[in-house]
Amino acid sequence: MKTQSGWPLSAEAFASGLVKQGDLIQYDGPILSHYTSRSKKKHYLFSWVDYDETYNRWLVLEATLVQLYDYLTNAISLADIFEDGYNNRVILLHTDASGTCSNGLLVPADELVADYQPDADSYYELAMPASYERYFENAKTDIEFAGHLQNLRAEAVRFRLAPFENRFASTIGAGDIGGFLQRVTRSFKSYVEVRFLFLFSGLFRGEEQMLSALSKVLNMAEPRSVFTKHGSFEIDLAVDILPLIQVDSAIIDWQKQALQEYKRDVFDFDFATNGRPLNLLNATDEQLRAIYLPLIQIANNPNYYVETRIEKQTDYQVLKPVSRAISRQIAPAKPKTEETDVAIETELTNVLLELQKGQDIRNISLTQLRRAMISVSTGDQSSSTVSGFRTAEGQVLEFSESIDVSLSRIGDLYQASYTPWDISVLGATGKAAMDAFYNELRKLYARFQRNQEDRQEQRGGLRSEREGRILDAFGELLVSPSL
């Protein structure tokens, strides 16, 4: 057999977690076989590539359910599966005459012996086995979801975090990973706000309608993890536009490629020579700070550096540290406000108090307030506890348990959201966002009342099962109204 370098792998342990589903190609024995994990959530193709007098050598490729279906219907080749991101590291296994696995190797795909790599024309030329026709029919829903996930992966942006030094205790910490993802999310949402207002504000009759559409877009703009790797932290992020409804098709089409556009204008842009991206020439200083300050924090993090995959290539480029001069250029400092200024800039402030149990904060003195204060912090994210609301008729409705409403700064706007009830609204200030949130609670209550009446009259009326779940969850928290 040909010499192949790689990292030793416990072949027996790997194979013990697999279940053979069938042989796809045979020639004096199987030469391409399909295995799954015991949960059937992972699929592997074992391709025979070499042998000697003692062992057979197999190339193990991971495949999605959609890829398996496409391969067996002659839509893609084995080479296409080999070139997928799942297989940038592949496994070689040996089996003896009894089929027992041994001598495993983990091999970077670009270091795999050329003769072991699938040919470009390695299509499946046989008829799909009848057992697989039944298999795919039973897995139709899974295939549809897997296809959707595969489409997201095709448009995903890949980030790789790596430590500056390869030594013990230098691996990427969970706090750094979480901080990176939160900063990317805040920055990207701020970018979406700027581009949305520039591209689509003319589609709407008034500000309220525009902010309602923007709120829906921002609510779905949170990047989703569609692929991660073990070891050094690597993640593919994509925006899932499938849940967007009642939004102009032009907005949906733009949202599909917004993350790639963001990557070009924020992570890949050469600020030293090009000034500012054309897409952001209309952005205010506050919006620029919201977009670029998270990037500056990521670029200058002392614990890791970030690489992004170059578009339509397999190579990566490193996000360089951002100098103070560049920082001032791309994220202008806040101006010192004069006392005569009419506009007042606001920020979210969190105050932590320690009070006696049952004590009402509205009835304590300023001195007591100061003594109770433990900490004060400002930032772009906070939360507001909501224990009830007033209906349009003036009734005060209370919840059996308070809900925590997320309040965040996005560029020039504030967003109040509560995901379990699918509420997300915008306002010019934090108070305006919360006022809009209470208005959405009133609308939700009206829908809840109509649904109760429809149930009593045995009428339909729900738009979806999700609507029913939201209304049921809302109703479970409601207690008897008071005047």
Do 148 and 203 belong together in one domain? Answer: no
Based on the domain organization, do 176 and 250 belong to the same domain?
yes
Do the domain assignments include residue 342? no
**Is residue 183 domain-shared with residue 326, that is, in the same domain?**
yes
Residues 171 and 319 in one domain: yes
Same domain, 144 and 166: no
Extract the tokens encoding 477: 């928290």
Residues 184 and 311 in one domain: yes
Q: Decide if 183 contacts 331 (C-beta within 8 A).
A: no
Distances (CA, A) of 120 to 107, 114, 124, 125, 364: 20, 12, 12, 14, 76
**Class of residue 47 by CB neighbours under 10 A (exposed 0-12, middle 13-18, buried 19+):** buried
Number of domains in the chain: 3
Q: Rounding to the nearest 10 degrees, give the CA dihedral for residues 288, 292, 296, 298.
A: 160
Are residues 26 and 127 located together in one domain of the fold? Answer: yes
**Do 269 and 281 form a contact (C-beta atoms < 8 A)?**
no
What pLDDT is recorded for position 232? 60
Task: Kindly state whether residues 320 and 392 are assigned to the same domain.
Answer: no
How far apart, in whole angstroms, are the C-alpha atoms of residue 225 and residue 95? 36
Is there a single domain that holds both residue 314 and residue 233?
yes
Q: Examine residue 340 and state whether it is found in any structural domain, yes or no.
A: no
- Which among 92, 124, 152 is the end of a domain? 152
pLDDT digits (tens, 9 = 90+) for 401-436: 888 888 887 767 788 888 888 888 888 888 888 888
For residues 288 and 265, give the distance between their C-alpha atoms in angstroms, rounded to a whole number.
12
CA distance 94 to 80: 24
**CA 152, chain centre distance (Å):** 10
DSSP state of 299: H
The pLDDT of residue 58 = 93
Tokens at 270, concatenated: 């050469």
Q: Whole-angstrom Cα distance, residue 464 to residue 260?
A: 32
pLDDT value at residue 246: 61
Nearest to 4 by CA among 119, 91, 95, 97: 91
- Determine how many CB atoms are found less than 10 A away from the CB of residue 351: 12
For residue 352, how many other CB atoms are within 10 A of its CB? 10
Of 261, 296, 330, which marks where a domain is finished?
330
DSSP string, 127-191: PPPHHHHHHHHHTHHHHHHHHHHHHHHHT-EEEEEE-SS-STT-SPPHHHHHHHHHHHHHHHHHH
Is 338 a member of any domain? no
H helices, E strands: number in the chain = 14, 18
List, edge to edge, every strand of the sheet that includes 157-162: 224-229, 233-238, 157-162, 305-309, 316-318
> How confident is the model at residue 170, as a pLDDT?
56
Q: Do 138 and 178 lie in a common domain?
A: no
> Is residue 64 in a domain?
yes
Specify whether the CB–CB gap between 193 and 215 falls below 8 A: no
R_g of the chain, CA atoms, integer Å? 28
The tens place of each residue's pLDDT in the chain, 483 residues long, gives: 899 998 988 888 888 889 998 899 988 888 999 999 887 778 999 999 999 888 999 999 998 888 888 899 888 899 989 987 678 889 999 998 888 888 889 999 889 999 999 998 899 989 888 888 888 877 766 666 666 666 677 777 888 887 776 655 556 777 788 888 888 888 888 888 888 888 888 888 888 888 888 887 887 777 877 666 655 677 888 877 665 556 777 887 888 888 889 998 988 888 877 778 889 988 888 888 888 988 898 888 888 888 888 776 667 888 888 888 888 888 888 776 544 444 456 666 767 677 777 777 777 777 777 777 665 556 667 788 888 898 888 888 889 888 888 888 776 778 888 888 888 888 888 888 888 899 889 988 988 888 887 777 766 555 567 778 888 889 888 886 543
User: Is 482 inside any structural domain?
Assistant: no
Residue 246 within any structural domain of the chain: yes
The single residue listed with the structure tokens 């970030």 is 306
Decide if 204 is inside a domain: yes
**Residue 103: in which H helix or E strand, if any?**
strand 101-108
Collapsed DSSP state (helix, strand, coil) of residue 458: coil
Out of 131, 152, 173, a domain closes at 152
Q: Does residue 176 share a domain with residue 284?
A: yes
For residue 127, being part of any structural domain is answered with: yes
pLDDT score at 49 = 93
| Cα gap 26→129, rounded to integer Å | 12
Q: Do 254 and 183 share a structural domain?
A: yes
The tokens for 365 are: 């003195």
Entry field: residues in the chain: 483
pLDDT of residue 143: 64
The domain containing residue 15 runs over which residues? 7-152
